[in-house]
Amino acid sequence: MTDTPFEVKPHPEMWAGLGMDVPRFDKARQMLGEVYDKMYISQANRPTAMQYFDDMVSEIFGGRIKEMLAVKEKGKPVVGTFCVYIPEEVVVAAGGVCVGLCGGSQGSVPDAEKILPRNICPMVKSAYGFKAGRICPYFQVVDFVYGETTCDAKKKTWELLDRLVPTHVMEIPQMKNKRDKTLWLEEVHEFKNKVEEVCGTTISADDLAGAIKVINNKRKALQRLTRLRANSPVPISGKDALLIEQIAFYDEPVRFAGKVNGLCDELEERVKKGTGFCGGDTPRIMVSGTPMALPNWKVHNLVETAGAVVVNEESCIGTRYFKDLIDEGGSTIDEQLDVLTDRYMQIDCSCFTPNDERIDQILREYKKSNAQGILHYSLQFCHTYNIEEIKVREACEKEGIPYLSIESDYSPEDVGQLQTRIEAFLEQIRG
């Protein structure tokens, strides 16, 4: 720990240039710094390689934005997305940047509630509010947004978001039959055409092969990090690992993979020496469910403050994003997009019916991560995850896996209750 408190660096001139509400955003920036200092910097036994990710947070509203502006100056697109279904390989192949815009903060919810109904998903509200309130530099930088039809709240909100920033929509199938893949493949082709149109360029098979490798490498690095967390004592906190999974959605992919692998080298050394983030007798929790978009660290913070450690995230911001790779053997664009579509069709989002492969995946990850209990996390009003939770619970009961389900949003009002539930869950695991 250093003496100077952690700070998210201000860049007011650049923000003004991006048309942001600078005074208001500057307050949010200060708050984020304070929260990060308290939740992250104060942790004991952090790997030294976390410095890079701390710096990424410090420059989250500056350095990375500048890099994106530089890409734009070269005539390449910056594409904003909200979902792990959007094939970022295609954007990277065109020389552009793909950035995850998912909203994870209560701060922008009131902006959204001026327009949107209150009783919809907090992530959708937060995302919309960031644009409506002009309080997210990433939203200001993107050339256009690519939404999808994974849920009703999203697909109807895109119609309204389109008034504020050009928003296109990919139709995600809801089942996994042959005709669904046909639909998705067509959508992927259209997505490629749209990206090419914006860039005024044609994506070659070589470009796409390179991009597939780049994103595969990013996913492989995250897989390696996940495997290392299976060790006891666990070499890294769940909070730090979650942060890295969140940064995966906005960092430059080649550099990011290098830094994650660098961290993994250090974690391997820790494992050899038996050095952990915490003692070997600390209860190990796997989190499963809806994504936790930056800066949503609520559940991880509660779990780790209560004396346990999170060892796995079965979530879109987690293993669902990186568990599957794309076959690198395709030689023509058509072949490549076909295998790319195969990979994307393996994503086991609860928007599909049936989606029993997710239940199998949860049980597999539970065993692999050497967890001692599963905490299912669902955002409020996320019907598909909330209902699928019943099947997850049944599977855990059948397997004798200690299980806790919580439903929450970004507001702090239920922290006391969640703390009680999580502590009682840990009492149950400790016996």
Partner 1 sequence: MHVGIDLGSRTIKVAVLENGQLVDQQISESGFDPHGQALEMIGRYNPVRVVATGYGRHLARKHFADEVITEIKAHALGARHHFPECTTVVDIGGQDSKVISLDARGRVSNFQMNDKCAAGTGKFLEIMAASLGFRLDEFGPAALASTQEVAINSMCTVFAESEVISLKNHGSPPGDIARGVHLSVVNRIVGMLGRVGYGELIVFSGGVARNPCMVKLLRERLDNVRVDSPPAPDIVGALGAALYAGRMEL
- The residues that touch partner 1, with contacts defined as CB under 8 A, are 407-408, 413-414, 416-417, 420-421, 423-424, 427-428, 431
Nearer to partner 1, 204 or 305 (CB): 305
CB of 107 to partner 1, least distance (A): 19
DSSP state of 413: G
CB of 417 to partner 1, least distance (A): 6
Beta bridge partners of residue 285, listed in sequence order: 310, 373
CB of 122 to partner 1, least distance (A): 13
Signed CA dihedral, 387, 389, 392, 394: sign only:
negative
DSSP, collapsed to helix, strand or coil, labels residue 202 as coil
CB of 421 to partner 1, least distance (A): 6
Rounded CA separation 264/229 (Å): 10
Rounded CA separation 87/391 (Å): 29
Rounded CA separation 154/396 (Å): 30
Q: Return the C-alpha torsion angle 180, 182, 183, 187, nearest 10.
A: 130
In the block, residue with structure tokens 């070499």? 235
Nearer to partner 1, 67 or 414 (CB): 414
Nearer to partner 1, 114 or 430 (CB): 430
Nearer to partner 1, 83 or 401 (CB): 401
Do 214 and 254 meet the contact criterion of CB atoms below 8 Å apart? yes
Annotate 50-70 with b (16+ C-beta within 10 A) or e (fewer): bebbbebbbbbbbebbebbee
User: Helix, strand, coil: what percent of the chain each, to 5?
Assistant: 55, 10, 35
CB of 246 to partner 1, least distance (A): 24
CB of 392 to partner 1, least distance (A): 14
Nearer to partner 1, 324 or 414 (CB): 414
Which of 387, 388, 397 lies closest to 348, judged by CA? Answer: 388
Nearer to partner 1, 23 or 416 (CB): 416
Give the gyration radius of the chain's Cα atoms: 21
Rounded CA separation 377/8 (Å): 28
Query: Which residues, in sequence order, are CB contacts of 260 under 8 Å at separation 6+?
Result: 218, 221, 222, 224, 225, 244
Do 162 and 51 meet the contact criterion of CB atoms below 8 Å apart? no
CB of 401 to partner 1, least distance (A): 12
CB of 411 to partner 1, least distance (A): 9
Nearer to partner 1, 16 or 390 (CB): 390
Kindly report the number of other CB atoms within 10 A of residue 34's CB atom: 14
Do 402 and 374 meet the contact criterion of CB atoms below 8 Å apart? yes
CB of 419 to partner 1, least distance (A): 8
Phi, psi of 74 (to 5 degrees): -80, 5
CB of 400 to partner 1, least distance (A): 10
DSSP state of 348: -
